[in-house]
Chain A
Amino acid sequence: MDYSFSPLGDHSIIIEIGQEISEEVQNQVRTISQLLEKKQPRWLLEIIPAFTTIAVFYTPTVASYATVEAELKELLQQPEEVAASETRTVEIPVCYGGEFGPDLEFVAEHNGLTPEEVIDIHTSGSYSVHMIGFAPGFPFIGGMSEKIAAPRRDSPRLRIPERTVGIAGKQTGVYPIETPGGWQLIGRTPIRLFRPDQEVPSLLRAGDKIIFKKITESEYYAWKEEDHAANH
């Protein structure tokens, strides 16, 4: 594989793995991220993997840009040292519609469907997490059916409660924390995607497969995180 390198300021370097989002590029991003975390070069501060790139933050007093680039080139010769990580499947229970999903009707009408059909399509999709970013634990999810795509709201809501499930264009996502935003809101999950009290604060990670599962309002209120942890 051909990688290109360029500086992102005086404390980081971006490794560009591909020009377009593809499964192969995503796998490379994950493999190289794991390799870097395993090798922990002496100058490494942290990494931010994205769709087609990995930003590597380093300490310039330990190594200059030229040194970091040269050492990265050498390191990337041996990606096979990292075993491909297992693909996890994470189930996200969602209570659709009602006060949790005030825009479910809009999404249905926009696509000439009934709300039930929107839920069926949303829960039968095959989704994967491309990257975590934008907000803590926020997954960029690929794989939503275009049949339930819907434009962003003209004027964004000032407060979208945490754990709300929404649709924006051809994307679906879950808000981990309360945020302003223009997404169409279709439901809410009882599980937390952002867990600042835990060592790995994000429930999801790049590469995960996701299943959305419909639950009732009473199941939503009865939900306990432990149940979810026991299932996975």
Chain B
Amino acid sequence: MLQIIKGGLQTTVQDLGRYGYQKFGVITSGAMDPYAHRLANLLVGNDENAATFEVTLVGPTIQFERDMFIALCGGNLSPKIDGHAVDFWRPLAVKGGSTLSFGAPKAGCRCYLAVSGGISVPELMNSRSTYLRAEIGGFQGRSLKAGDRVEVNPTPAKQLASFDKALSKDTDWQVPAPRYSTAPVIRMMKGRHYELFDEESRKSAFTDFFTVSSNSDRMGYRLEGGALALEEPAELISEAVAFGSIQVPADGNPIVLLADRQTTGGYPKIGQIASVDLPLVSQLKPGDRLRFQEVTLQEAQRLWIEQEHRIQQLKISIQLKWEEWE
């Protein structure tokens, strides 16, 4: 059991998303930074789709009621256990009764907390992700607040047997973290409506800096700058959008669609972020800047496949580390 002492700004239960129901208008939800979510799970021996807490900017305070392993991946929100700073991107043995808290955000804005066994909430439409707008899924369909008690699946006995050893042993290994930045260059493919934009806009899309506005959330980031415009007005027929679609409403400020995006949209899509770079975008805070660099579809798919191979390799090396502890 996890006792929530403070809820934090927006702490929600997420997995890799709710797929198969978008045709009914049900959004995918899921981790904004799927890479960090997956790694956090793998580090504690979970399936990569197990439910985690997505912690946003101002973290929660959580007390662990029994011994378990945890991992913190994603943005550096200065995590502490019983007041002592702890590392992230590695497994940590946490004793029952200890308390996890967070401090100032040092890099990125979302951190994933995975616990061995996984967070136990009911599955709804094949997923444990929180669907905030519909108030369903996750933990009671909402962000955590003080006083909540969240169930955790039991840690496998074999893993728990190595708890004392893990606690005493110097474990300075970490998995490599993505290069989160406050001014990243993000790889973007031309979107379905790229050619409908005027020449200047087609150019600025790949040269200008865009600033993340304060009007940004899990649904999408509004970007300022560029003032992108169509060559001539066009009435488009609504169609599907995807994680990382960049659509441009009439005011010319692009919107990057993220985990809580609607299933369909009617604005022209100037671009589509390469999936491998989505974590870098999801970790941006209002005021951060980004620039887009063109990538072809073939290259984006090659990068994705490469990343998947790397994750498989990491999975194996994590398993080997666990065996050393046993």
Contacts and interface: CB of A to CB of B under 8 A. Distances in A.
Contacts of A7: 189, 192, 272, 297
Output the residue of B20, B22, B137 with the most chain A CB within 10 A.
B22
Interface of A: 6-12, 14, 20-21, 33, 45-53, 55, 57, 60-61, 64-65, 131-138, 140, 176-177, 179, 194, 196-197, 200-202, 205
Contacts of A65: 297-298, 301
Interface in B21-37: 21-27
Contacts of A10: 189, 272, 274-275, 297, 300-301, 304
A51 B237 contact: yes
Given A9-B245, A60-B301, 6 more contacts: A10-B274, A10-B300, A46-B19, A65-B297, A136-B26, A179-B133
Contacts of A179: 133
A136 B134 contact: yes
Interface of A is mostly: loop
Contacts of B304: 10, 60-61
B25 A12 contact: no
Q: What 3 pairs between A and B have smallest CB-CB spacing?
A: A55-B240, A133-B264, A48-B240
A53 B305 CA distance: 27
Given A14-B239, A55-B240, A196 B263 contact: no
Interface in B103-148: 124-125, 133-137
Interface residues of B, number: 42
A133 B189 contact: no
A136 B27 contact: yes
A191 B262 CA distance: 23
A201 B24 contact: yes
Contact of B124 (A20, A177, A196): A196
Nearest to A177: B134
Contact of B305 (A61, A176, A177): A61
B24 A202 contact: yes
A123 to B, nearest CB: 25
A8 B305 contact: no
B194 to A, nearest CB: 11
A46 B134 contact: no
Contacts of B263: 48, 133-134
A138 B133 CA distance: 14
A14 B24 contact: no
Nearest to B22: A48
B74 interface: no
B134 A194 contact: yes
6 contacts: A9-B275, A51-B238, A55-B240, A64-B301, A65-B297, A133-B263
A86 to B, nearest CB: 18
B94 to A, nearest CB: 34
B26 A201 contact: yes
B20 A196 contact: no
Contact of B134 (A11, A20, A196, A202): A196
